[in-house]
Structure 1
């Protein structure tokens, strides 16, 4: 490993000739302000950390730096296929992409304005005196289509028209140009400006030409043994302070050498699953793909290395249409059968993997199977089936659902596995008392009553709140009831955030009478016919409250059991 200084001019000469980005690198994400702050730091002689390079002859896809920085650029057009081949020597930037791409754009390239699509170049204010402004930057930098003014120096000139000129000549030329802006300046102010120009130009030229501002740590994979697997591990560690890379990122890096579109395909799947405002990331669809092909739930880049990796990727590619269909069916199941429109009603995303595994091997399940799939989902969430050793559990489930099951979701075998592992398998009264389950249980109730989830809203700010039918503050202050009696599932309902703010402190009889008169279907909230028909029965006394609350809890339990214990004959009691 070498550790040496290198001039920015030399780095710019090497970019896209011998110096590239490995395909594992994420896209350029720095905003213009971050680019400006890097320049400001360099003008102040602040250290900006070393760059980490890797010299290799391995067959790794090489991506070029952007001559014109475009955010959300199509990276597929930036690959240098000839340089990617095995046996061709190249150097990859493992750490420092954002900084080096910024410097390349400032001194030898440009950026494309996201709104106007104008090509903009970097201009530095050479008259800056080094005093921080309101934005904290002492050396202003602008991106513009043309010169913003006489005091603004085009940085790209240093690698083109001014490449052979000394810092002294450049500064003197700028000072002569600035003489037209001297009216009204005192001799002292004029000398100060001239001094600032000389000092700033000297620093800018030094940044480009001298071997002292940028230090390179290089892993020499040509002369020494730095295999791809080791470099991947180093890469993820050195990037942990920036955009965090996980096992899925490393697997995509290994896969994209053979199937460039795989990451885009999987991200598209994740986006589709997230249409309901859920929080799937791309690692879960990737885990699903590996599991369905019998390779286990653990995500490691080694699964796509060597002949076995080629075989797995070929299998995924060959059956991609089947996988995509299974993901579409999962998306429809989440939306239409489970009615999940919020991350608040999902406690374990790992529980979705066996569902996809089943759909991959048993496409288009009938209504009975979909009800059993829903029962499995809610059991997994309520009973914590995937709360620990998730990959181990997923692998066990693959043995149950990862094969043709005769068109029937095998809920019995699944329950048997979890019962042997000491988990609950049927909904009981204890689950109704667990405050962590209130959103999920109420979602089941409202889906049953209204046919859709109350979280299915266009305006995210109006997602439902938990509301106490009998106001909790009054129950505590008037009747001195404790938390267990007040925060009770029988007293909970959902109400839109906007409606909740309008409720004020009305007593339940008055409030629900007003809603009924306004045409609101209060029976779907109260769940009890007598009170729905006559809200004045919701009298304001402890006995009436407890009687209502307990009867309503029984109704909630009845609805929830019908969904969560769907495999049980109607009327059969709950148990393990």
Structure 2
């Protein structure tokens, strides 16, 4: 029979990436034992509770569905060996993509193998079964003594089924004074037999073939995973290490285990700042080996794939793993690790209490390693430049938004330097530090960022770090702040952060609300006996009383450290907060200045040439024009909107600089194209007036206090520098079409400006402004 072409012909079907199959539990356990299926979770912290394992066995027993398993073929040839050897030198044929926790639970119970807790302690998962009511429980001391239970069902498979059943029935008969009939025994044994037969439970398995890439596997995983868990690139790379370089993965995990294991004696990764995870250390190794912050292509690089041709080569894979192996040796070297952590201490940070961004720690470690290995810097000089970098990156939140993009850009700048040129390395990092810590940052952005009550604010910890660097004392005390913050020192219980304007006093004055009462600018370190004395007193009352016996010079020093305005006790509360925020920012600046090697109080200034060299970043943007559309050859309101949204993004983030008259690649074209649209006002003053009018007409706040506009010359052409300070409250922009009130909320993330909506906007505002 002839069918019309529309029926007999059609597009070819998309090749199927998987096949459905089934495995018995016994088959799965044996394949895991023999290394045919990779189950690396046995050697990593087990995240399921014992109760979840109990529930899993209960579901199996009752015949309930327990989910599909998903495996992924490795594509390894028979006999393929791991890179560098390992505990099991053969490469596994299958990786477990979905179902690792279930299989870890089942494998551990059926074999009796211990798993690791989150604190890296080994423990057995012990599940008990009570045949009388067919219930499963997590074994405890009471169940151990209860003859109604088989206290550990592992015995059914490990100690022998018959001996285990006979022992249970004998104990039960004794406990019931022999009142156990043959019919009772048969019924109980039948139920125990059902538990024993769980080893034959058949799981539905989806096997993805080797042709599926990691992007497709991640998408399939997300679509079928009921818990909404997402796989990230680090998951894939760590899994790939389990297949091809198990020893390397175990080294990462052992380092992390030793960092938190209280039983480790002697040299260890323990430190006061961070409990490293394997994926964090993996990122450090990849950054050092391949100069990459984004992990998007690293998986394929380690597979030995040529990113241009798509060809996969075993030789290339071995070469890439060799690069990673050398880098990981540097990352896990305890001398390197602890020398780097000294940089954080050198920057005034004392403990994890002061760390809000572990990314800042890990990514700064990459730069430290590059400085040591590739630029030959000694520990002393490296300590100075890395301390400055960490202080800047942590305080400004450099690695908070789009962290992978930001570290990749930073690594790219370092990679462009001549290898071994230590001066160039230090100069580049310091140039970026200066570009972020501008005069506007110290005088406007930082005081605005201090307008919060958040107890986990990076700018608060920058203040604490500066107090450490300035060797400051607690208010009214001779105890140093650094002693209060040192995790190795037990500070007196009497020390705490105190409200300078006491809560009770503010309540009587009608000031309420946690954000205002607990504002950073209302808190200072104070010794408890003095705090008790102050109670709810008006500062006008307690300040003279507390300082009466103190030497005037000491009062002056403490007023400086604690950023107390002259006559602060007589100020109204809101004026006090505003003035103290500015003074705190000055103390932070003074503390940071101590980190420059020459110990001067005037760090080198940033030039326009420096800014152009640094390029676009979280805090810097280039725009060719602000009014003239180069492609259309005419003035265009769209160009003005681009300027408005960029400034809005800086205001809502950490501030930054917008350079107008500079193309994306750093080529300076000047302002002539824009100037020709201004007629008789085609000069610097007219251009500044034009920009100010555009911003004030399209933003929800006036910009006089937060935006500074000035001009500099580069290559004989004018460049307009719009210096934007962080805003103390959310700022909105009008849409491109204009009209109505400002409704768009823009934020600077990485080197892009992104609009946030709905819950994302609300969450950002809550986290950013407290």
TM-score (norm 2): 0.53
- Using CA pairs below 8 Å that are at least 6 residues apart, which structure has the higher relative contact order? 1
Aligned match of 1:398 in 402, 411, 431? 411
Aligned to 1:474: 505
Mapped contact 2:521–2:580 kept (Cα < 8 A): yes
Say yes or no: does 1:332 pair with 2:342.
Answer: yes
- Give the 3 Å change call, closer, same or farther, for CA 395–56 of structure 1 in structure 2: closer
Say yes or no: does 1:84 pair with 2:91.
Answer: yes
Structure 1 residues 491-570: aligned runs within 5 Å: 491-495=522-526, 504-508=535-539, 510=542, 523=555, 526-528=558-560, 541-542=570-571, 556-564=584-592, 570=602
- Give the 3 Å change call, closer, same or farther, for CA 201–242 of structure 1 in structure 2: farther
Aligned match of 1:438 in 457, 460, 484? 460
Structure 1 residues 28-67: aligned runs within 5 Å: 29=46, 30-54=48-72, 58=76
Aligned to 1:290: 286
Say yes or no: does 1:99 pair with 2:66.
Answer: no
Aligned alpha-carbon RMSD (Å): 5.7
Tell me the SS of whatever aligns to 1:276. coil
Shift of 1:3: 3.8
- Give the 3 Å change call, closer, same or farther, for CA 43–335 of structure 1 in structure 2: same
- Give the 3 Å change call, closer, same or farther, for CA 282–17 of structure 1 in structure 2: closer
Aligned match of 2:44 in 20, 24, 27? 27
Q: Distance in 2 between matches of 1:502 and 1:397?
A: 51
Structure 1 residues 319-398: aligned runs within 5 Å: 324=333, 326-347=336-357, 349-350=359-360, 352=364, 353-364=366-377, 370-371=383-384, 373-398=386-411
Q: Distance in 2 between matches of 1:565 and 1:362?
A: 25
Residues 329-377 of structure 1, C-alpha deviation per residue, up to 9 Å, x if partnerless?
3211012333242354545734625455444444555877755544443
- Give the 3 Å change call, closer, same or farther, for CA 348–429 of structure 1 in structure 2: farther
Residues 214-255 of structure 1, C-alpha deviation per residue, up to 9 Å, x if partnerless?
32214174xx74578866776788789498753223223334
Q: Distance in 1 between matches of 2:247 and 2:440?
A: 41
Q: Distance in 2 between matches of 1:559 and 1:427?
A: 10
Aligned match of 2:239 in 246, 253, 258? 253
Shift of 1:298: 0.9
Aligned to 1:456: 486
How many aligned positions are there?
529
- Give the 3 Å change call, closer, same or farther, for CA 371–471 of structure 1 in structure 2: farther
Mapped contact 2:20–2:206 kept (Cα < 8 A): yes
- Give the 3 Å change call, closer, same or farther, for CA 269–233 of structure 1 in structure 2: farther
Structure 1 residues 118-137: aligned runs within 5 Å: 124-126=129-131, 128-130=132-134
Q: Distance in 1 between matches of 2:530 and 2:247?
A: 46
- Give the 3 Å change call, closer, same or farther, for CA 217–554 of structure 1 in structure 2: closer
Say yes or no: does 1:303 pair with 2:313.
Answer: no
- Give the 3 Å change call, closer, same or farther, for CA 470–235 of structure 1 in structure 2: same
Tell me the SS of whatever aligns to 2:525. strand
Say yes or no: does 1:214 pair with 2:199.
Answer: no
Gaps (5+ residues) in structure 1?
Answer: 64-75, 131-137
- Give the 3 Å change call, closer, same or farther, for CA 477–51 of structure 1 in structure 2: same
Residues 246-277 of structure 1, C-alpha deviation per residue, up to 9 Å, x if partnerless?
32232233345554443455557774787223
- Give the 3 Å change call, closer, same or farther, for CA 148–117 of structure 1 in structure 2: farther
Aligned to 2:322: 314
- Give the 3 Å change call, closer, same or farther, for CA 491–451 of structure 1 in structure 2: closer
Shift of 1:548: 7.9
Q: Distance in 1 between matches of 2:403 and 2:279?
A: 14
Tell me the SS of whatever aligns to 1:467. strand
